[in-house]
Structure 1
Amino acid sequence: MQGHWVVLALCWLGQLCVAQNLRPQIANPKLATNNPTLTTIALEKPFCMFDDSLSPGSSYMVYLYAMADSASTVSSAVIDNSSKPLNTTFQDTNGGQLGPYRAALFNVPNCASPPMLADVVNLKKVSDVLKQYLFRVGDDVTCLYDPNFPGACNPPLAEDTTYRFKYLLVDVVAGVVKDQTLWSDPMKTSRVKQPSTIDTWPGRRSGGMIVITSVLSTLMFLLVVGFLASIFFFVIRAAGEASTETTHESLTTQQGVPRSQGSSEGVNQ
């Protein structure tokens, strides 16, 4: 209860109230497969988060801040005493390890006309839908090496590292923050798998099982080849013996005919 009165007091004093207690969310896995990656995390853009804070004639932008989760124990402030957003960079904070840095800024998403998720199946519209719906933190691999890079730098994140994110609604004309979300829940980038842990077989067998299976397969192949070879030589040998027996019977028959004729002639005489 005491915390509730503190929030009301801050709002009454003109400080910032959190946008409906909302926070950045990781992107829908149906739209952002393989998320997070080793160096990126795709977030949903803040649709309909800041509508109550918008006023006609004002120029607003959304600022996205990122920090390593370990930095939350150091400092998570993104606004100075004049209600202006901090201009901390990736380099200033050692990639978010020392505190939050401004990763990006973009137009406030149009709550009245959000992207149609059904258009994702349309190859001609899928790219535009994803750009409207998602923002990928860590997607710029060149800004760190370009001294003249304009705007916020959004370099690759560190692998196997937990991050948090926050959206700010900024009046760019007045240069002050009008609203903000809570810090997101922790989101962790992927890590490189060790070669020994990579599953290289559909049956999820270990490396030793793969070697044993390969050896047994080779032995089975040699056994089958030997069996077929023995059958082949047996057939060839049987055919040769049959041919020799036929020739012997033929010669015996031819030699018996003259003796039969001689005996016949002796009887006649």
Structure 2
Amino acid sequence: MSLPIQLWLLVTISAVVADYTSYIPQLTGKSFQGRVTATTFILDKPQCLFSQDSTLTVWLIVANQTVQLDNTKLSQNAPYYLFPSSGYYRTLRTTADTYPCNNVADYIRVGNDASCSDPNNCNGPLPSSGPYRVKFVVLNSANVLLDQTGWSAPITLRQGKTSSVIDTWPGRRSGGMIVITSILSVLLATFLLCLIGTFIVGRKNIICCKKNENMETPVFEVPPALNIKDYKTHVVPGNPDLELYASPKA
């Protein structure tokens, strides 16, 4: 091979490598809901970057910011389940031709798989807030590293606050929260007053009923028996056939 051809190939390869390394993965600039969450983040999908060679494999490397990786580690298998100990993993395996050059906006959500069927290609949730760095690597069929992009800027995920560090002083509350809290407090106080009033009225009625039950029942005097004369029957002497007649008893 002549020297001019060798120089041309060297310049061509250098240009290709320069194109890869000059690409920096980044968070999407679109205002998506959940652009960055507690376990995921969204990247812009590379456009017009990789060759349309279906024999080349593209991986996304996700690593803690403090982890240093050489080309040997970048070409080795690094499953998601070893991430807590190794500090990095690779995921989203695909072929280079799945990154077409069509200038159509597309996105990649890192950490999107709650359960992974393939442990060696798992895009599982990120376990902490980070910060993380990511880069794309290109391997051939023999798992030899051919190309790689630059590292992204550090990406920090959102994390909820613990209850011990939340400021509960009213001065930190918005006007709407103060109004809602005041209304709820008044309603609760009104409900308690009604409940206490109902209890007092009900107790008073019970006491009144018991007093009525304990009152003596009025005794009605029975009028004396009427002085009615007693009549006895007599037979008329000498005439038994006559009917009886009554004569008053003195």
- TM-score normalised by structure 1 residue count: 0.52
Instruction: Evaluate the alpha carbon distance shift between residue 91 and residue 150 of structure 1 in structure 2; reply closer, same or farther with a 3 A threshold.
Output: closer
Cα distance in structure 2, aligned partners of 1:40 and 1:65: 14
Q: Which runs of 4+ in 1 moved over 4 A?
A: 194-198, 216-221
Once the 2 structures are TM-superposed, how far is the Cα of residue 170 of structure 1 from its aligned partner? Answer: 2.1
In structure 1, the residue matched to 2:154 is: 186
C-alpha separation in 2, matches of 1:69 and 1:177: 21
SS of aligned partner of 1:93: helix
User: Structure 1 residues 90, 112: closer, same or farther in 2, change over 3 A?
Assistant: closer
Letter in 1 for 2:149: T
Identity %: 25
User: Over residues 85-132 of structure 1, what are the superposed CA-to-partner deviations in whole Å (9 max), with x where a residue is unaligned?
Assistant: 1211223231xx6332112212334443243x5xxxxxxxxxxxxxxx
The CA deviation at 1:189 is 1.1
Task: State the distance in 1 between where 2:38 and 2:167 align.
Answer: 17
Aligned counterparts of 1:110 and 1:98: Cα–Cα separation in 2: 28
Out of 87, 91, 109, the residue aligned to residue 103 of structure 1 is 91
CA distance in 2, matches of 1:110, 1:91: 27
Aligned to 1:154: 123
Q: For the Cα contact (< 8 Å) 2:38–2:159, is it kept in 1?
A: yes
User: Cα 1:217–1:159, aligned 2, differ >3 Å: closer, same or farther?
Assistant: same
Larger Rg: 2
Question: TM-score of the superposition, structure 2-length normalised?
Answer: 0.56
The 1:154/1:21 distance shift into structure 2, 3 A limit, reads same
> Which letter does structure 2 place at the counterpart of 1:134?
Y
CA shift, 1:181, in A, is: 0.7
Whether 1:90 and 2:80 are equivalent positions in the alignment is: yes
- Assess, with a 3 A threshold, how the Cα gap between structure 1 residues 20 and 88 changes in structure 2: closer, same or farther: closer
CA-to-aligned-CA distance 1:165-210 (integer Å, 9 cap, x gap):
0101222x24322211111101111112446569xx874546xx75
1:178 and 1:204 mapped to 2: Cα distance? 58
Contact 2:21 2:148 in 1 (8 A): no
Does the 8 A contact of 2:46 with 2:99 survive in 1?
A: no
Superposed counterparts of 1:106-117, under 5 Å: 106-108=94-96, 109-115=98-104, 117=105
Question: 2:21 touches 2:150 (CA, 8 Å); kept in 1?
Answer: no
- Counterparts of 1:60 and 1:216, CA distance in 2: 69
2:83 & 2:19 partners in 1: Cα distance?
24
Counterparts of 1:67 and 1:204, CA distance in 2: 42
Higher relative contact order (CA closer than 8 Å, sequence separation 6+): 1
Partner of 1:21: 22
Q: Kindly indicate whether the alpha-carbon contact (under 8 Å) linking 2:42 and 2:109 is maintained by their aligned counterparts in 1.
A: yes
- Listed as ranges, the gaps of 5+ residues in structure 2 are 1-9, 192-250
Segments of structure 1 that go 5 or more residues without pairing to the other structure are 1-7, 118-132, 222-269
The separation in 1 between residues aligned to 2:188 and 2:72, in whole angstroms, is: 71
Distance across 2 between alignment mates of 1:114 and 1:62: 19
Q: Is the 8 A contact 2:48 2:102 kept in 1?
A: no
Question: What is the rounded CA distance, in whole Å, between the counterparts of 1:110 and 1:140 in structure 2?
Answer: 21
Matched positions, count: 175
In the alignment, is the contact (CA less than 8 A) between 1:27 and 1:42 conserved in 2?
yes
Is 1:76 the counterpart of 2:62? The answer is no
Shift of the alpha carbon at 1:69?
1.6
SS in 2 for 1:80: helix
The two structures, once aligned, show a CA RMSD in angstroms of: 3.8
